[in-house]
Every structure is written in structure tokens, then in C-alpha cells.
Amino acid sequence: MDMLKTAIRNNPEDVDAALRRLGLTAAPLMRAVRAGYISRVSRTANDAPIAAGFYHWNETLRTLRDELVMLGWTRVDEQMFSTILSPDGKTAISVSSGDDATGDPRGFPKTKRDKGPRTADAIDANIGQLDLFDTAPEMVLATAPEDEVECLTYVLLFHANATELRAELSLPVSMDEHDHIDTWRERIILRSQPIDPEGDTLPKPDFGPEIDIDVKRRA
């Protein structure tokens, strides 16, 4: 199989069909991406220097899990590798920040940070499944014997620039010499989400309804 041949789903109908194949819609993925960004920009100068990146990643993951658990998905944490697993056990999703090519169908995105051995193991499993059945990801899930199918691990890749949030759900098949994921067998490009150029990205605080308490002075 030619692992360098990437299937790019960018047309809205193709995106919807690809996500539906995985038991997903775009909405929970996009809400997770936005929640992560809001958590990032909520940090202050008094947070630790690494806080913004950590909170961005963690809130994206947490929100994605919150959303998908309600659809029957299962939280999985193995050796510091955090994913959410589909009800049929055939699809897992991890989350990661990506470089500025993320969400660009013409680009060649990489993860922003290097990845560890559990990610490498997941990529090896992806390659093994694609090689074993010598077919595209959608055909592995649709036609391979159920008792022979191992989990395919996708990555929800996210990136923020000055004007928009970009994201994609993509299937990794290799890492470079610096342990960044750099090659994808399938890229499902999500619609970009605008960021207010004035920086007003946070939701306005909700303090509840105004309560007027009538305080009577004691005689």
C-alpha cells in the first residue's frame, strides 16, 4: 500500500460522510476545539509558562470526552496516552495541537509537539491494519471480518492563528525523526471557526438573574 497517498475529505458532503462512517458528526469535534481555545486564552500572566498549552490540550480532550461519552464512547487512558474509544471498539481518537498547515487541505500538517511510544504503537497498529487488508480506512471498517479488525486511532488536530480556529480528524501513519506525526492516510477537514479580531473570544460571564432583596430595617 502507498502510505503517502492521503485521502483528503474537504467537501462538506464528503466530510459528513466520513464522520458518519466513524459514528460522528462535526458538531462535538468543533465544540471541543473551541472549548480548548477558550481555556487557553483564559490563562493569565500568573499561570505557569506551560499552562496555556496544557489547558488548551486538556480542555479539548475533556470536552470531546464529555460529548462522546453521551453517545456510548468510552474514556481510555493507557500509559499516559489518552483517547476516547467508539462503542464498537474500532475507532479511537486522541487530541493534539498541530502546526499552521492544520485544517488546510493543501498543506502537509505535523503535530506541534513530539509524541511518545504509545503514539508510535498506535501508528504501527494503523499501518498494520491498512497493510493487512490493503485498502482504505473506510473499507477496513466496512468490509474486514470483525474478529480481525483492530482499532484505528485518529487524531483530532487543532490549530489557532490570529483570525480562526482550524482542525481536522486525521489518521496518522508515520512520525519524522523528531517524533512529530507527519504523514496521514486520511484527513477529514473540519470547517474553520472565526476568532474575533478584537480578541473578544471569551463568553460573557453569566451571574444569573438579578435579585432584588427587600431589606427592612428593624424597629
pLDDT, one tens digit per residue, over 63-88 is 999 999 999 999 999 988 999 999 99
Please spell the DSSP secondary structure of the chain, one letter per residue. Answer: --TT--EEE-SHHHHHHHHHHTT--HHHHHHHHHHHHHHHHT--TTS-TTHHHHHHHHHHHHHHHHHHHTTT-EEEEETTEEEEE-TTSSEEEEEEEB-TTTT-TTS---BSS---HHHHHHHHHHHHHHHHHTS-HHHHHHHS-GGGPPPEEEEEEEEE-SSEEEEEEEEEEEE-TTS-EEEEEEEEEPPPEE--TTS--SPPP---S-----PPPP-
pTM over 0.85, yes/no: no
Cell of residue 196, nine digits: 474575533
What tens digit of pLDDT does each residue of 182-205 get? 999 999 999 999 987 565 444 444
pLDDT value at residue 147: 53
Q: Which of 12-26, 28-42, 187-201 is the least confident region? A: 187-201
pLDDT value at residue 210: 43
Q: Which of 69-83, 98-112, 139-153 is the least confident region? A: 139-153
